[in-house]
Amino acid sequence: MITREECAALDAVDPLAAFRKEFALPEGVVYLDGNSLGALPVRTPERVRQVVEEEWGRELIRSWNDAGWFEQPYRLGRRIAPLIGAEPEEVVVCDTTSVNLFKVLVAALRLRPGRRTVLGDGEAFPTDLYIAEGATGLVEGARSVLIRPEELDRHLDGDVAAVVLSQVDYRTGELLDLPGITARVQAAGALMIWDVCHSVGALPVELGAAGVDFAIGCTYKYLNGGPGSPAFLYVAGRHLAAGPRQPLSGWFGHARPFAFEPGYDPKPGVGRFLTSSPSLLGQAALGASLDVWERADLAAVRTKSLALTDLFIGLVEGLDGIEVATPREHARRGSQVALRHADGYPVVQALIERGVIGDFRAPDLMRFGFTPLYLSYTEVWDAARQLAEVLTSGEWRAERFSRRGEVT
């Protein structure tokens, strides 16, 4: 079994170690929930203060032009593009993941007239399924069919317009074969929409190389944009050239929003996927965190992520009542480890009281996210030790650990 000293030696030669000081983490906390809400970058408060007090408070409405507010969704999109293997003009930051999925899904259905089925993963993050249900409900004859990714080929018939899948499963952390699945879906004449919420910032995402049609993702998980920070969407350049039509045709997607014309004329390019005024305070926070991401080497992030998850799995497998739900093969693993335990909820609460923050997903999954920019090998070792102590002491059986909040 690896020792804490050996972990300290790994930290000493970690090429990403310098990023830790870019994040404001409380003393005494091992934060293993950056896959749900990323940590606060130290430069974010100052950037948000500047936008609030200077751009808004002092410059007032002049900032739309002078501080580049109007351009902000595109500027942030161009900065996210390298993180997802996209061209700068294929990405825009706006709204939320759910809303963006709605927009690209309806646009995809319109690009495949005559085809009426949308396939989704029945075990996916439910908002994606709810949105697929809502979007298909608006199109005559359309339907949303829930499958498992391993059954995909059986369901890829001539009626499938689009397939929506998450690159990394939010529960088990399983990583799907994005290029392979994309190619099979497209060979069947359908369009591929990837949800990259749990992969962006966790590993290099290669949308362009795989020829992906559409993608959506959020920025408050691995990208550290802050609670409720704006999401992004990606549309392949070849589709943009064809002038796709999204359903939420608000004024920010209009070619001339300040002409105030009565008819809708969409912008050329990805800007036609905008709907409303950007949420500039959230976008300011995201901009500050992208300053950090801009300097991070994604290959190094992936290497360390796999090393951290390998370390954690090695230390916790075999603990009493624990079953590792995350795939062992690197090619099938994102940047989180999910452990099954019949009493996972109170075990996670007991861990949180000890300063090790993970989370829980019903019915029995304890989730631990590994964020290479601000986690050390030593912390992972400490977290595994704390979990072992919680299990052997049985302290999780205390009644206070079974009380559930609104958010688990």
Ligand X SMILES: *Cc1c(COP(=O)(O)O)cnc(C)c1O
User: Could you give the residue numbers annotated as active site?
Assistant: 125, 195, 220-221, 367
CA-to-CA distance for 55 and 58, rounded, in angstroms?
A: 6
> Token pair for residue 334?
């994102």
CA-to-CA distance for 247 and 26, rounded, in angstroms?
A: 43
Using CB under 6 A, which of 22, 55, 90, 128 touches ligand X?
128
* Residues 58-97: x where in contact with ligand X by CB under 6 A, - otherwise, as a string: --------------------------------------xx
* Residues 93-122: x where in contact with ligand X by CB under 6 A, - otherwise, as a string: ---xxx------------------------
Write out the binding residues for ligand X, residues 132-191 only, by CB under 6 A: 166, 170
Residue 5, C-beta contacts closer than 8 angstroms, at least 6 positions apart: none
- DSSP-assigned states of every residue in 228-280: T---EEEE-HHHHHT----S---GGGBS-GGG--SS--BPSGGGGG--S---H
CA-to-CA distance for 77 and 58, rounded, in angstroms?
A: 27
Half-sphere exposure at residue 399, Cβ-oriented, CA atoms within 13 angstroms:
0
Q: Are 116 and 251 in contact (CB under 8 A)?
A: no
Using CB under 6 A, which of 127, 249, 277, 378 touches ligand X?
127
Nearest distance from residue 255's CB to ligand X, in Å? 27
Under the binding rule (CB under 6 A), the answer on residue 129 touching ligand X is no
Q: What is the CA radius of gyration of the chain?
A: 22
Nearest distance from residue 342's CB to ligand X, in Å? 25
Nearest distance from residue 215's CB to ligand X, in Å? 11
Task: For residue 329, count CB atoms less than 10 angstroms from its CB and return exposed for 0-12, middle for 13-18, buried for 19 or more.
Answer: exposed
Nearest distance from residue 119's CB to ligand X, in Å? 16
Nearest distance from residue 197's CB to ligand X, in Å? 3
The residue (of 97 and 309) whose beta carbon lies closer to ligand X is: 97
Nearest distance from residue 95's CB to ligand X, in Å? 8
Interface size with ligand X, residues (CB under 6 A): 13
The residue (of 125 and 360) whose beta carbon lies closer to ligand X is: 125
The residue (of 218 and 322) whose beta carbon lies closer to ligand X is: 218
Q: Which of 175, 178, 170, 233 is nearest to 35 (CA)?
A: 170
Under the binding rule (CB under 6 A), the answer on residue 222 touching ligand X is no
State the virtual CA torsion across 380, 29, 336, 330 in degrees, nearest 10: -20
- Name the segment binding ligand X (CB under 6 A); options: 111-119, 123-131, 320-328, 376-384: 123-131
The residue (of 194 and 377) whose beta carbon lies closer to ligand X is: 194
CA-to-CA distance for 338 and 365, rounded, in angstroms?
A: 6
> Token pair for residue 82?
């390298």
Residues forming contacts to ligand X in the complex (CB under 6 A) are 96-98, 125, 127-128, 166, 170, 195, 197-198, 218, 231
